[in-house]
Amino acid sequence: MNSSPRPMGRWSTPWLYLAPALVVLAGLLVYPVYQLGLISFFQYTQAQVSGGEPTTFQGFGNYAELFGDEQFWQVLLATVVFAAACVVSTLAVGCALAVLLTRVRAVPRLALMLAAMGAWATPAITGSTVWLFLFDPDFGPVNRVLGLGDHSWTYGRFSAFFLVLLEVVWCSFPFVMVTVYAGIRAVPAEVLEAAALDGASQWRIWRSVLAPMLRPILVVVTIQSVIWDFKVFTQIYVMTNGGGIAGQNLVLNVYAYQKAFASSQYSLGSAIGVVMLLILLAVTLVYLRLLRRQGEEL
């Protein structure tokens, strides 16, 4: 390797560096995605897994069954609405607190930062159990403080979703807050001072000065939030005990898992996975277009 005077020039070097990543991704990501698509076109249940029956090609049969199932459409709607609510709440809380962080001195800022770091670091599974415990009808402090008696939060469809939403916002706003805060700090102070001298109100400064400058960052955190919240699994699974009473709190991800592993309908589960994949792919394309429009070079 030393013989080459300009090591940058060798065409094979980048591929050498990329090789481990590409091998891992091809084997454990691309191939499973391909398999997922394949399984969704076959009849694949417990009998085929154990080798008792041969796998048979179904064409779009699994998809037809899925789209004919009213529960699928309900779950899809619930997923979209729930994810949207999570994204909007997370962004609102995260941005508001990021602005708040710039208004306070070091001690309150450190306190809020540390608390947020704690929430961020909390594993999804422990966060879920702790929030359930806080809202427990018998022993939780929240019902006592609010005087709700033994009202069960997980019994009703909406209150169960609301409880999960609270937990999701709690553990995901810190990412938005920290990122947007870092972005605001990068805005030159003179710009903000000039705006303030011109008599712009706080809201006006945010809307007309900060928001446009932070646009790239806001796009990133929005897209990340959409991806994360659309795929929420642990919180729903743990807090509503696998999808709630009669599956009232199912979202696509949990639905796919339950179909595949609880009722051994692997092909239906895979078809749901493919639908999710396509939706997220559409989100990605929108993201790429936004990046392109900003003239950003990859």
Partner 1 sequence: MRPVSAMSFVRRPWRLLAEASALLIAVVVAFPLYWMVLSAFKPAGEIESSEPRPWTLAPSLDSFRRVFEQNEFGRYFLNSLVVACTVVIVSALIAFLAATAVTRFRFRFRTTLLIMFLVAQMVPVEALTIPLFFLMRDFGQLNTLGSLILPHIAFSLPFAIWMLRGFVKAVPEALEEAAYMDGASRSRFLWQILFPLVFPGLVATSVFSFISAWNDFLFAKSFIISDTSQSTLPMALLVFYKPDEPDWGGVMAASTVMTIPVLIFFVLVQRRLVSGLGGAVKD
| Those residues with Cβ within 8 angstroms of residue 150's Cβ, 6 or more apart along the chain or in another chain | 137, 138, 143
Residue 262 interacts with partner 1 (CB under 8 A): yes or no:
no
Q: What's the closest the beta carbon of residue 70 comes to partner 1, in angstroms?
A: 22
Residue 58: burial class (beta carbons within 10 Å; 0-12, 13-18, 19+): middle
Binding residue (CB under 8 A) for partner 1 from 50, 139, 203, 293 = 139
Q: By three-state DSSP, how is residue 294 classified?
A: coil
Could you say which of 281, 286, 289, 294 contacts partner 1 (CB under 8 A)? 281
Considering only residues 47, 77, 81, 115, which one is a binding residue for partner 1 as defined by CB under 8 A? 115
21, 35, 43, 163, 247 from 30: Cα distances, Å: 12, 9, 22, 35, 31
Show the CA angle centred on residue 274, arms to residues 271 and 276, nearest 5°. Answer: 115
Residue 62 Cα distances to 256, 266, 268, 271, angstroms: 13, 10, 6, 7
User: Strand 56-57 relative to strand 42-43: parallel, antiparallel, unpaired?
Assistant: antiparallel
Which of these segments, 56-64, 81-89, 156-164, 269-277, binds partner 1 (CB under 8 A)?
269-277
CB 196 within 8 A of CB 170: no
Contact predicate 235/168, CB 8 Å: yes
- Give the nearest distance from C-beta 249 to partner 1 in angstroms: 13
- State the minimum distance, in angstroms, from the CB of residue 88 to partner 1: 19
Residue 151 lies near partner 1 (rule: CB under 8 A) = no
Distance between CA atoms of residues 213 and 184, nearest Å = 9
Is residue 245 part of the contact set for partner 1 (CB under 8 A)?
no
Q: Give Cα 45 to chain centroid, integer Å.
A: 29
**Of residues 43-102, those binding partner 1 (CB under 8 A):** 49, 97, 100-102
- Exactly one of 80, 233, 247, 290 binds partner 1 (CB under 8 A); that residue is 233
CA-CA distance, 298 to 292, in Å (whole number)?
9
Stretch that binds partner 1, among 60-68, 74-82, 83-91, 105-113 (CB under 8 A): 105-113
> Does 124 engage in binding with partner 1 (CB under 8 A)?
yes
Q: How far is the CB of 45 from partner 1 (least distance, A)?
A: 12
Q: Does 246 bind partner 1 (CB under 8 A)?
A: no
168: Cβ–Cβ under 8 A, 6 or more apart, which residues? 86, 90, 229, 232, 235
Q: Name which position in 71, 126, 201, 263 contacts partner 1 (CB under 8 A).
A: 126
Q: Minimum distance between the CB of residue 68 and partner 1, rounded to whole angstroms? A: 21
Q: According to the binding rule CB under 8 A, does residue 253 interact with partner 1? A: yes
**Binding-residue pattern over the window 210 to 229 for partner 1, x denoting contact by CB under 8 A:** ------xx--xx-----x--
The token duo for 278 is 């396509």
Binding letters toward partner 1, positions 18-37, x by CB under 8 A = x-xxx-xx-xxx-xxx-xx-
Total of residues contacting partner 1 (CB under 8 A): 109
Minimum distance, C-beta of residue 208 to partner 1, in the bound complex (Å): 16
Q: Given candidates 87, 91, 116, 168, which one binds partner 1 under the rule CB under 8 A?
A: 116
